[in-house]
Amino acid sequence: MTISPEKNPFPIAFTGGRILTMDPKQSHADVLVIQGGRIVDIGDKCVLKSYPDVEIIDLCGRILLPAFIDAHNHLSFACFVPQWVNLWGLTSKDAIQDAVEMHVQNHPGRDWIVGFPWIDAYCGGVELTRKDLDGFGLDRPVLIMHETWHKFVASSQALKMASITASTPDPGSGKIIRDSDGEPTGVLLESAGAPLLQLALETNRRRFADLIEARAEELHAFGVTAIHDPGVTPAAEAAYRLLYEEGRLPVSVLMMPHGDSLLDNRIENRLNGPSTGLGDERLRVGPIKLFADGGVPGTVAFSGKIRGRMYTDGMPRDDFSDELIKAIKRRSQVCVHSLGNVTTDAVLESFETAIEQSPDGHNILPRVDHVFLLSLAQITRLASMGGCSAVQPCFLNRAERLKRMAFEGYQWFAFNDLVKGGVVVAGSSDDPNGIMDGRDTIKCCVMGATMSDDAGNVIFPDQVMPFEQWLWIYTAGSAIAGGQENERGMLRKGLVADLVILEGELDPKKPPFVAETWANGKKVYVKAKLTGANQ
Ligand SMILES: [Zn+2]
């Protein structure tokens, strides 16, 4: 689908349903009027008198609200998923080998074989080494990517192409797992896998753009019309710009500049690029993206007491703080990936230092995404800097085991504590996480509103928030975290006419569904009605 830049000259009014403005200044409205891709009026029924020729859309009791903003969606990485071997749910070597062989039959050639999502032994699946992948007997490089994409296993040929040998040192922020002879086993943690990822994803600008466009179009069915891409490499930026220039960008994108490959904090070139805010409401430069810790057990940086015993794990990175301070001195904003409580402390400290050294008139919006384990003191520190965080209720799907890891003084998935503590919370998917399709925003709002996993197990019930609060988080909350509150996320005069119509009740036990999505004042998605025997 192409969003045409031409303006619709005729006003359209929505009425006859419940209008959720997400705007604290005007929480009630009977009528919303859009024209030329923008909201031109909102208020009670009298508003209609000013628009004698308006086309009226009867909501028929349905719910109208701003379209969803997925504040942490790796679109420029997720767009490759359809090209990869689908390992969803496969937990044995044989099943993985079968899937790879099937893929090779359908995709002959010499290209890289990438498999995703790999479920390792920790999550009930299987550990793999290069010997397993070599055993597939393919004359092609093979890379299998963990469901969190913070852990990889590469075949011998793939390691060779990336020049990873026994004498390659570990990068500061990653680890090459070695056998007793010092030879790489093929397993690579964090940024040690970045060079392979870069090779495997290499493509030309036009093909990259086509893949992004296809993946972005899928978002409309979830009611999403805008994303923040938290890790935009120079190649991804070039592809986004091509789509923008050709008027083919299906969603609004806030690009967070990142290094040449995902998980790599070497961003010197990006710091010299355009700074945060440049662009327009279709494509804008967002905060610089940095990683403070990892994403798998062993790299996520936790520390604290569990039932009186000290417990410490993880690989906190030491390569983000200087970059963070440099970026802020150059008047950019920064978003940091931090899962564990140890790195969150370090990130907060870096932001505090950066604020002291920041140039005059530069209003800093500290952003720390994920924050899986938090203390109230950390929440207060982030809130006191006016900070924000994009969270992912979809990760409750692997959280059952965390109930047994109760760190004293810390809370897992402290969604409600964050809101109560004054942090702006944004909603997101972390697509393509291999745990569930987090792009399903309504499902994520249900998970957050019940603090349940997909199977209905309640995880941390004291963090429950109302369903409507989650809708605010995925609209206004995400807009504020992106510095876009004067552009989208609320139904307010002058903002973009990106809308969602929900059918059903705002009840997490019986959730509504996305009936229609509008972007730039145009209908871009309508849920197909079931007819006949299916009804
Ligand atoms: Zn992420």
What does the pLDDT look like over 274-289, one tens digit per residue? 889 999 999 999 999 9
273 CB neighbour count, 10 Å cutoff: 15
For ligand 1, the distance from its centroid to the CA atom of residue 274, given in whole angstroms, is: 22
**Would you say residue 502 has pLDDT above 70?**
yes
**Would you say residue 171 has pLDDT above 70?**
yes
Among 183-187, 349-353, 403-407, the range scoring the smallest mean pLDDT is 403-407
For ligand 1, the distance from its centroid to the CA atom of residue 507, given in whole angstroms, is: 29
Kindly give the residue spans of alpha helices, DSSP state H, lying in 154-278: 156-161, 194-200, 205-217, 234-245, 268-271
Among 125-134, 279-288, 397-406, 525-534, the range scoring the smallest mean pLDDT is 525-534
For ligand 1, the distance from its centroid to the CA atom of residue 16, given in whole angstroms, is: 39
For ligand 1, the distance from its centroid to the CA atom of residue 370, given in whole angstroms, is: 8
With both helix axes pointing from N to C terminus, report the angle between 376-384 and 341-357 in degrees, rounded to the nearest 10.
20
For residues 81 and 145, what is the distance between their CA atoms, to the nearest angstrom? Answer: 11
For ligand 1, the distance from its centroid to the CA atom of residue 433, given in whole angstroms, is: 8
42 membership: H or E segment, kind and range: strand 38-43
Q: How confident is the model at residue 15 (pLDDT cuts 50, 70, 90)?
A: very high
127 CB neighbour count, 10 Å cutoff: 13
For residues 418 and 496, what is the distance between their CA atoms, to the nearest angstrom? Answer: 28
For ligand 1, the distance from its centroid to the CA atom of residue 511, given in whole angstroms, is: 27
| Domain spans, the chain | 12-67+495-534, 81-200, 205-481
For ligand 1, the distance from its centroid to the CA atom of residue 60, given in whole angstroms, is: 38
Task: Reply yes or no on domain 205-481 having CATH 3.40.50.1000.
Answer: no
349 membership: H or E segment, kind and range: helix 341-357
For ligand 1, the distance from its centroid to the CA atom of residue 367, given in whole angstroms, is: 13
Task: Reply yes or no on domain 81-200 having CATH 3.10.105.10.
Answer: no
Mean pLDDT of 438-453: 97
For ligand 1, the distance from its centroid to the CA atom of residue 264, given in whole angstroms, is: 13
Q: How many C-alpha atoms does 45 have within 13 Å on its Cβ side?
A: 3
Question: Residue 531's pLDDT is what?
Answer: 62
Q: How many C-alpha atoms does 4 have within 13 Å on its Cβ side?
A: 6
For ligand 1, the distance from its centroid to the CA atom of residue 297, given in whole angstroms, is: 16
Q: Are strands 85-86 and 142-146 parallel, antiparallel or unpaired?
A: unpaired
Helix then strand then coil, in percent of the chain rounded to 5, is 30, 25, 45
4 CB neighbour count, 10 Å cutoff: 11
Question: Residue 297's pLDDT is what?
Answer: 84
**Would you say residue 252 has pLDDT above 50?**
yes
Q: pLDDT by residue (tens digit) across 82-115?
A: 999 999 999 999 999 999 999 999 999 999 999 9
Structure token pair of residue 388: 């924000």
Task: Reply yes or no on domain 12-67+495-534 having CATH 3.30.420.40.
Answer: no
Q: pLDDT by residue (tens digit) across 329-372?
A: 999 999 999 999 999 999 999 999 999 998 888 899 999 999 99
For ligand 1, the distance from its centroid to the CA atom of residue 72, given in whole angstroms, is: 6
For ligand 1, the distance from its centroid to the CA atom of residue 371, given in whole angstroms, is: 11
Mean pLDDT, all residues of the chain? 94
For residues 170 and 175, what is the distance between their CA atoms, to the nearest angstrom? Answer: 5
132 membership: H or E segment, kind and range: helix 130-134
Contacts of the segment 415-418: beta carbons below 8 A, 24+ positions apart: 415/391, 415/448, 415/451, 415/463, 415/465, 416/462, 416/463, 416/464, 416/465, 417/374, 417/376, 417/379, 417/463, 418/371, 418/374, 418/379, 418/389, 418/391
For ligand 1, the distance from its centroid to the CA atom of residue 258, given in whole angstroms, is: 12
For ligand 1, the distance from its centroid to the CA atom of residue 381, given in whole angstroms, is: 22
Q: How confident is the model at residue 8 (pLDDT cuts 50, 70, 90)?
A: low
For ligand 1, the distance from its centroid to the CA atom of residue 337, given in whole angstroms, is: 7
Mean pLDDT of 260-274: 88
For ligand 1, the distance from its centroid to the CA atom of residue 390, given in whole angstroms, is: 10
For ligand 1, the distance from its centroid to the CA atom of residue 230, given in whole angstroms, is: 6
